């Protein structure tokens, strides 16, 4: 397609379809990964290191009566057993969450979800630590749990958070946005109104590598080195300093190679804190690495939104307004990782890609006896839920109006000339050109032909479905004035150093978990300075080595840190001009830039390459006043707005009427993330996200029984897709650069996870249309699909 191939390009120079910084190059990080030479937290072994294990609660809600640790302490290999009481003595029993709540590090009063942390054993090896857990004797007084969020606010519901002063119910917050009256007026006057209840079930990011930490506290100098599975090392360090009282300059957080994050590694988990306490108590380094069940049962889940959507339209299909009411299940502690002022994340972008007259939403957050979390799994701060809501609703409307769902979308898109577009809930979409993306996806799919095939198959009683979704994302938080996490503004730093021989190192505040930053951020510098990417080292994930910044989530690395890197490179380029002028004995204003060198205007032969300038900067040429003898620079980038990538997805499914099995036969994904840095990495991100979508739409759910037992605690129960369940993805792209981003790039890391579930569910519902089925909740498992078909007249 256009823009492919390994050639340097510059979108600013007009060829906007061209990838930048040498484009589709192979990933610099892969030689170590494919040889098994990645260095993950569990690979770290320190002299004298001990191992920790966590005793977890077997029940969802219970008063803690007593803990007897004497037998465990008597185990010959056990060095320490830590309980909530011990932590109370250190003032560490409770830790602040990222959402202005507190969370128990170890239970002191009451167990609030199954799998909650009760005690921590430190022993000579991992096996002894685990064995000793069995020797701890705990007495619980079991309480009735709150499992169904719909019952959390009942008058007789047990109060889960009786630790919070004055708490008499399970309500966390009520939050609303948009104009309720204006929206009601539009609904009252509309020709057509449709409504649908839907559940975005609780799912889990389930990264390949579970969470873990190695804490190394030095009792002599009071310093702490903490190796951690974290997506945000700087923010973690600041929080540890605030909470544990260890001075910030004495803390070094290192996030080495990470085996997938997907939002699971944003928060601070009790296990990390316990590793630190264990190291302080024993005077030895302590490693804690959770197992798969611990990861699935206790770390940050995703979604769990119970939504009611309503849409108002004219009878010829002009959408006028969207309204929604949400019950948000946050689990036992409000620990969602999101900007402070956004209790429902960025759900308020539920207005989607459509030009509306009015919109209104209300979200009520409640506590239940389930694991805390909520914002994870490539959600773009709950844009997943928002896109699912609006894209399902548009299909419900299409069915009601008997219109083609693609046509209905085309009719309602925000038009190109309306950008920047201010939507009804306070966002300013930076740029968009929706119709060409939709048309391209339809062309790639052969949409008309597919509809014909479907009609023929229906005649024969075969169940084929075609599902469409069109999404707009909001990623790249964000302007400091709007977004912070626990008071830390959302900006990112970058430092660039060009060594005397012209090789460079760029230091980032964001942290890759598999996204390929070591490659793409080198490509940005390559684009700006003309130094080949292989000569640029990318350093990240170590607070001692990198500038402060808020880390990787919400697909913010390219929008924020990517902007920082482009600007820091331009700063170096500007400085290089002064040094080149001194070397060429000319005036800086007489120089002109071409990729990789400054030369004298009108005399292209007289110039200096970046490598020559770098050597010159460190050499003997007299530099002008104010120019330091190096080729280094640093910036902190506070973006003016978020970026709004978008995409058009079409899914084709076949449903087996006998078994209810859904087969995703084809999936066409057209994405627009503005200027594309590395098309291969973008495709990889999209393939991964589409696979997530198949998982959520068809297989994945973290369910609980009525006692609060987690039914998704292993990969035998929590099903994730493999190559067997996914088709060969058909990807395409359009390029609509962000007008405010230094290189025009928007994020892509979560687009496909956000955009694909509604396309798949729309396809399943479309396949089942002959049965009169208009909605089905995820996951559309064979059992659910089969059951939905029962008792309904079979199609002809």
Map the footprint of ligand MCN across residues 369-388, applying CB under 6 A.
378
- Nearer residue to ligand MCN within complex by CB, 363 or 748: 748
Measured CA to CA, the distance from residue 662 to residue 762 in angstroms comes to 12
Q: Which helix (H) or strand (E) holds 508?
A: strand 504-508
Nearest residue to ligand CUM on Cβ basis = 263
Map the footprint of ligand MCN across residues 486-505, applying CB under 6 A.
none
The label of the residue with tokens 């038009």 reads 415
Q: Which of 317, 554, 721, 737 binds ligand CUM (CB under 6 A)?
A: 554
Least spacing, CB of residue 231 vs ligand CUM, in Å:
6
- Nearer residue to ligand MCN within complex by CB, 178 or 695: 695
The residue length of the chain stands at 796
By three-state DSSP, how is residue 10 classified? coil
- Nearer residue to ligand CUM within complex by CB, 3 or 549: 549
Q: Are 771 and 465 a contacting pair, CB within 8 Å?
A: no
Please list, residue by residue across 568-588, b when 16 or more beta carbons sit within 10 angstroms of its beta carbon and e when fewer do. bbbbbbebbbbbbbbbbebeb
Binding mask 263-302 for ligand MCN (x = CB under 6 A): x---------------------------------------
Question: Which does residue 514 bind out of ligand MCN, ligand CUM, none, counting CB within 5 to 8 angstroms by kind?
Answer: ligand MCN
- Nearer residue to ligand CUM within complex by CB, 378 or 653: 378
User: Could you report how far apart the first and last alpha carbons of the chain are, in Å?
Assistant: 43
By three-state DSSP, how is residue 406 classified? helix
Measured CA to CA, the distance from residue 513 to residue 40 in angstroms comes to 11
Question: Which does residue 375 bind out of ligand MCN, ligand CUM, none, counting CB within 5 to 8 angstroms by kind?
Answer: ligand CUM
Contacts of 437 (CB under 8 A, 6+ apart): 470, 646, 647, 648, 670, 672, 734
Instruction: Report CA dihedral (243, 244, 250, 254) to the nearest 10 degrees.
Output: -80
Contacts of 741 (CB under 8 A, 6+ apart): 476, 559, 562, 563, 639, 643, 674, 675
Q: How many CA atoms lie within 13 A of 490 on its CB side?
A: 29
Measured CA to CA, the distance from residue 497 to residue 506 in angstroms comes to 6
Span near ligand MCN by CB under 6 A; candidates 28-36, 552-560, 602-610, 697-705: 552-560
Map the footprint of ligand CUM across residues 225-284, applying CB under 6 A.
231, 261-263, 266
Q: Which helix (H) or strand (E) holds 356?
A: none
- Cα radius of gyration (the chain): 28
Count of residues of this chain found to bind ligand CUM when the rule CB under 6 A is applied: 13
Measured CA to CA, the distance from residue 120 to residue 270 in angstroms comes to 10
* Residue 328 near ligand CUM by CB under 6 A: no
Span near ligand MCN by CB under 6 A; candidates 312-320, 389-397, 515-523, 529-537: 515-523
Q: Which of 682, 697, 759, 761 binds ligand MCN (CB under 6 A)?
A: 682
- Nearer residue to ligand MCN within complex by CB, 201 or 645: 645
Least spacing, CB of residue 253 vs ligand CUM, in Å:
17
Least spacing, CB of residue 522 vs ligand MCN, in Å:
10
Q: Which helix (H) or strand (E) holds 522?
A: helix 517-529
Least spacing, CB of residue 761 vs ligand CUM, in Å:
20
Q: Which of 224, 376, 398, 525 binds ligand CUM (CB under 6 A)?
A: 376
Q: Which of 23, 309, 747, 757 binds ligand MCN (CB under 6 A)?
A: 747
Q: Which helix (H) or strand (E) holds 363?
A: strand 358-366
- Nearer residue to ligand CUM within complex by CB, 322 or 375: 375
* Residue 378 near ligand CUM by CB under 6 A: yes
Least spacing, CB of residue 514 vs ligand MCN, in Å:
3
Question: Which does residue 668 bind out of ligand MCN, ligand CUM, none, counting CB within 5 to 8 angstroms by kind?
Answer: none
Least spacing, CB of residue 792 vs ligand MCN, in Å:
39
DSSP states along 182-198: HHHHHHHH-SEEEEEEE
* Residue 549 near ligand MCN by CB under 6 A: no
Write the burial class of residue 615 (CB in 10 Å: 0-12 exposed, 13-18 middle, 19+ buried): buried
Residues engaged in binding ligand CUM (CB under 6 A):
231, 261-263, 266, 375-379, 553-554, 750
Residues engaged in binding ligand MCN (CB under 6 A):
260-263, 378, 513-517, 520, 552-558, 673-678, 681-682, 685, 688, 745-750
């Amino acid at each position: 397609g256009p823009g492919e191939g390994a050639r340097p390009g510059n979108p600013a120079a007009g060829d906007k379809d061209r990838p930048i910084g040498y484009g589709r190059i192979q990933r610099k990080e892969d030689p170590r990964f494919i040889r098994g030479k990645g260095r993950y937290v569990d690979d770290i072994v320190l002299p004298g290191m001990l191992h920790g294990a966590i005793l977890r609660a077997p029940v969802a809600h219970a008063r803690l009566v007593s803990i007897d640790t004497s037998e465990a302490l008597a185990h010959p290999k056990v060095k320490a057993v830590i309980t909530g009481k011990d932590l109370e003595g250190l003032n560490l029993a409770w830790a602040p969450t990222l959402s202005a709540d507190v969370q128990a590090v170890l239970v002191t009063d009451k167990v609030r979800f199954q799998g909650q942390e009760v005690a921590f054993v430190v022993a000579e090896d991992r096996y002894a630590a685990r064995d000793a857990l069995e020797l701890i004797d705990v007495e619980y007084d079991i309480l009735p749990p709150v499992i169904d969020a719909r019952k959390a606010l009942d008058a007789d519901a047990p109060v889960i958070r009786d630790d919070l002063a004055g708490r008499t119910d399970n309500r966390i917050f009520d939050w609303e946005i948009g104009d309720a009256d204006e929206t009601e007026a539009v609904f009252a006057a509309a020709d057509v109104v449709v409504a649908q209840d839907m559940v975005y079930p609780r799912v889990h990011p389930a990264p390949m590598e579970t969470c873990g930490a190695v804490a190394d506290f030095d009792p002599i100098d009071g310093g702490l080195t903490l190796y951690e599975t974290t997506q945000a090392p700087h923010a973690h360090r600041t929080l540890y300093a605030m909470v544990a009282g260890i001075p910030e300059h004495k803390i070094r957080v290192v996030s080495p190679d990470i085996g997938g994050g997907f939002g699971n590694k944003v928060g601070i988990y009790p296990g990390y804190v316990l590793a630190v306490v264990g190291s302080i108590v024993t005077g030895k380094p302590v490693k804690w690495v959770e197992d798969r069940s611990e990861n699935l049962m206790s770390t940050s889940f995703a979604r769990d939104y119970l939504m009611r959507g309503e849409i108002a339209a004219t009878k010829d299909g002009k959408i006028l307004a969207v309204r929604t009411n949400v019950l948000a299940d946050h689990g036992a502690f409000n620990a969602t990782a999101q900007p402070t002022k956004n209790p429902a994340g960025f759900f308020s972008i539920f207005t989607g890609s459509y030009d509306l007259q009015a919109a209104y939403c209300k979200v009520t957050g409640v506590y239940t006896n389930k694991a805390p979390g909520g914002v994870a799994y490539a959600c773009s701060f709950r844009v997943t839920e928002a896109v699912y809501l609006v894209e399902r609703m548009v299909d419900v409307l299409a069915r009601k109006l008997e219109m083609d769902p693609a046509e209905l979308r085309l009719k309602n898109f925000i038009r190109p000339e309306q950008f920047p577009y201010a939507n009804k809930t306070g966002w300013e979409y930076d740029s968009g050109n929706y119709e060409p993306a939709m048309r391209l996806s339809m062309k790639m799919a052969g949409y008309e032909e597919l509809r014909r095939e479907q009609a023929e198959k229906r005649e024969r009683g075969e169940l084929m479905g075609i599902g469409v979704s069109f999404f707009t994302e909001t990623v790249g938080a964000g302007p400091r004035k709007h977004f912070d996490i626990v008071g830390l503004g959302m900006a990112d730093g970058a430092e660039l150093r060009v060594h005397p021989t012209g090789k460079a190192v760029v230091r980032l505040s964001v942290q890759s978990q598999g996204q390929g930053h070591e490659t793409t951020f080198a490509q940005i510098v390559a684009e700006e300075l003309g130094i080949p990417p292989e000569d640029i080292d990318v350093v990240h994930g170590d607070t001692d080595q990198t500038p402060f910044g808020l880390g990787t989530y919400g697909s913010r690395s390219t929008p924020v840190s990517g902007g920082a890197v482009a600007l820091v490179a331009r700063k170096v380029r500007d400085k290089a001009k002064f040094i080149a002028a001194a070397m060429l004995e000319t005036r800086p204003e007489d120089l002109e830039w071409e990729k990789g060198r400054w030369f004298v205007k009108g005399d292209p032969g007289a110039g200096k390459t970046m490598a020559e300038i770098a050597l010159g900067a460190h050499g003997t040429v007299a530099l002008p006043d104010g120019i330091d003898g190096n080729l280094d620079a640093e910036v902190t980038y506070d973006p003016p707005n978020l970026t709004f990538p978008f995409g058009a997805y079409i899914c084709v499914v076949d449903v087996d009427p006998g078994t209810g099995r859904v087969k995703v036969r084809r999936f066409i994904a057209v994405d627009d993330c503005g200027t594309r840095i590395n098309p291969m990495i973008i495709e990889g991100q999209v393939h991964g996200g589409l696979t997530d979508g198949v998982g959520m739409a068809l297989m994945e759910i973290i369910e609980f029984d009525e006692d609060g037992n987690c039914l998704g605690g292993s990969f035998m129960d929590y099903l994730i897709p493999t190559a067997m369940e996914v088709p060969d993805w058909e990807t395409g792209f359009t390029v609509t650069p962000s007008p405010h981003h230094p290189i025009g790039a928007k994020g892509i890391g979560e687009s496909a996870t956000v955009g694909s579930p509604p396309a798949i569910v729309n396809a399943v519902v479309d396949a089942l249309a002959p049965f009169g089925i208009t909605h089905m909740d995820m996951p559309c498992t064979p059992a659910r699909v089969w059951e939905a078909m029962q008792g309904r007249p079979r199609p002809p």
